[in-house]
A and B are shown apart, each in its own frame.
Chain A
Amino acid sequence: MTWTLLLEQSLNGFQLGIVLFLMAAGLTLVFGIMDMVNLAHGSLYMIGALLCATFTEWTGSFLLGVLLALPAVLVVGILVEVVALRTLYKRDHLDQVLASFGLILFFNELARIVWGPEGMAIPLPAWLDGSIEILPGVPYPTYRLMVIVVGLAVAAALYWLVVKTRTGMLIRAGASNRTMVGALGVNIGLLFTLIFGLGAALAGLAGMIAAPIVQANIGMGESILIPAFVVIVVGGIGSIRGAFIAALIVGLIDTMGRSFLDVLLGTFMSANAAETAAPALSAMAIYILMAVVLFFRPQGLFPPQGRG
């Protein structure tokens, strides 16, 4: 293990965390304010990626693709909220999990019919497609650096929205006491639709950002959905700050596990045993993290204040 590799892997972990955060931010808002478990959040991630791929193909530019796909996902999200999910806010979590599970099946099949089973690749502009030296002798993919920058910018914008604006005040108020916000004469229905749309756009953006790395494909939402849930649960449901910190922790743990666990285990067990145990343990790492956090802090690391 060298210091440059450690640095590089930290960046990788950071970058993974950023994508997770974009997913988790929407999830935790919807969860925290509407008390709604939405498994179909992953479908919005997939729809974002696939729409972006299509628009990129039409326009020939990835950036234009993102700019067109963002409002499109927003519309899809609002449609989903109005048509299917709105009626579920008052139901218990069980109903929400099941109905949104049904949405996953629906969206996956729909995407398969529209885009075909093979999915789509997104070509990047040349200036994003290579790598640059972050330190002498340590090249790093330009695109991943870009992801970090964009992700941090979105996180900052979100922070500004939640902490500095009136809408944000309502969102925070909603997260700690929903009934009270309604009683104060705020149009709760509109606020909820707005928040859901915002969450959908964030998930879609995460999908668009991830697509040039992992390709846009059917079912891609499910592989990130569960880690995103881990993030919001570890962070404390409803807390954007918690989601941000937990996303970085999860991203780093996952990446560091994949990077160094075999070496680490190799120091006290046979190379063969380490070779088998390392991938298993690193696959489980984030679940172990979640179980441990919940065991000691049953409400996550940063539960929003004022919640009973």
Chain B
Amino acid sequence: MVLNRRIIVTVLVLIALALLPVLLGGAPFYIGVVARAMILAIAAISLNLILGYGNMFSFGHAVYIGIGAYTVGIFAHYDIFNGFIQWPVGLAVSALIALLFGAISLRTKGVYFIMITMALAQMMYFLGLSLDKYGADDGLVIYTRSEFAGLIDLEDHVTLYYVVFGFLLLTVLGMARLINSRFGLVIRATKFNEARMRALGFPVGRYKLTAFVLAGTICGLAGLLLGNFTNFVNPDMMHWTRSGELIFMVVLGGMGSVFGPIFGAITFLLLEEFLSDLTEHWQIVFGPFLILVVLFARGGIDGLLGRKDRSDD
């Protein structure tokens, strides 16, 4: 029964997401809020791969959102709107940067890993700030969204919504497959006992680096979507506090759970929107809420849905 509750809730949430534009026919604003939440959910899912399953505490994950969004922005700046060029390049650059950063930071462990991922992300943030050509802190306005040879019109907000939804489904289902694959098993096993996995002859380092690069690439996808959605990119998107927000989405939703990050991201954004409307001093409520979640709701929202099923653990 416990297992069923999770499945029922998950399916209900996905159906609700699928039908939202129909249900909210005349309210594009909320469609936008949810689209943004789904984009950040993709980013949170990617972070969950390394954070929740791989125990790699990256404090610089927002950097790949920035890279994705900047790719759209910089191409658009040069009047190249073709998504078939923009998107592969964005993903490739995200992967490359993740490879570089992963290779450097995976030499360290524990707190040092947290700090070095943050330092590398901060370097990218300052790089963005100094890019005069691309607006420095003003960033770039993306006047035209990615074009796909007339196949998909992202300028239409409902279409964009379903594109985001499609990618979210793809990401979450792909992740579910991945973590149950041999690769996923190795990654999850290293979380519990890295030395043993090493002793068993697994090239643990290479597995971890692969997961790190994969997470960065998927997060780059979220960045591509976010750039298109907000019509805008600036270095703020890469600031360490944004990485912190992503981490919170993962924890809020439930670490190491496939669908958790979706719940986390949506709850986080709705909470932010709702609380900031309620009072200007919303952070005085939000801060302690964060602490309470950490202290008492260890499993996040996913944890409220009952014990984890075995394949998921």
Contacts and interface: CB of A to CB of B under 8 A. Distances in A.
Given A106-B284, A280-B127, A237 B119 contact: no
Nearest to A106: B287
Interface in A82-136: 84, 87-88, 91, 93-95, 97-99, 101-110, 112-113
B129 interface: yes
Chain A contact surface mostly: helix
A291 B118 CA distance: 10
Contacts of B114: 37, 93, 97
B132 A276 contact: yes
Contacts of A102: 286-291, 294
Given A98-B294, A106-B288, A229 B123 contact: no
A298 B107 CA distance: 7
Contacts of B130: 276-277, 279-280, 283
Interface stretch (B91-99, B168-176, B244-252, B305-313): B244-252
Given A94-B251, A98-B290, A280-B127, A295 B104 contact: yes
A93, A106, A107 — most chain B CB neighbours (10 Å): A106
Nearest to A96: B294
A99 B126 contact: no
Interface in A48-103: 84, 87-88, 91, 93-95, 97-99, 101-103
B5 interface: no
Contacts of B105: 294
Given A233-B111, A288-B123, A97 B244 contact: yes
A45 interface: no
A186 interface: no
Nearest to A102: B290
Nearest to A282: B126
Contact of B247 (A31, A94, A226, A295): A94
Chain B contact surface mostly: helix
Given A110-B284, A113-B284, A287 B119 contact: yes
A291 B294 contact: no
Nearest to B296: A87
Nearest to A105: B287
A299 B112 contact: yes
Contacts of B107: 294-295, 298
B122 A99 contact: no
A230 interface: yes
B197 interface: no
B240 interface: yes
Interface string B115-143: 11011101100110110100000000000
A94 B57 contact: yes
A30 B289 CA distance: 24
A290 interface: yes
Nearest to A92: B57
Given A112-B281, A226-B122, A284-B126, A298 B291 contact: no
Contact of B112 (A284, A288, A294): A294
A290 B57 contact: no
Contacts of A229: 115, 118
A277 B286 CA distance: 39
Nearest to A286: B119
Interface string B219-247: 00000000000000000000010001001
B51 interface: yes
A97 B287 contact: no
B109 interface: yes
B110 interface: yes
B312 to A, nearest CB: 19
B115 A290 contact: yes
A291 B284 contact: no
Interface in A139-154: none
B8 to A, nearest CB: 29
Contacts of A37: 111, 114
B291 A84 contact: yes
A94 B256 CA distance: 13
A98 B283 contact: no
A251 to B, nearest CB: 17
A118 to B, nearest CB: 15
Contacts of B293: 98
A284 B287 contact: no
B119, B127, B132 — most chain A CB neighbours (10 Å): B119
B295 interface: yes
B159 interface: no
B108 interface: yes
A38 B105 CA distance: 21
B59 interface: yes
29 contacts: A87-B295, A93-B110, A93-B114, A94-B247, A98-B251, A98-B294, A101-B244, A104-B287, A105-B283, A105-B287, A108-B283, A109-B283, A110-B284, A226-B118, A230-B115, A233-B115, A280-B129, A283-B126, A283-B130, A284-B127, A287-B122, A287-B123, A288-B123, A290-B116, A291-B120, A294-B104, A294-B105, A294-B115, A294-B116
Given A37-B114, A106-B291, A233-B115, 5 more contacts: A37-B111, A94-B251, A95-B251, A98-B244, A112-B281
For the complex of A and B, the 10 pairs showing the least CB-CB separation, nearest first, are A102-B290, A280-B130, A106-B287, A105-B287, A109-B284, A287-B119, A102-B291, A109-B283, A102-B287, A298-B108
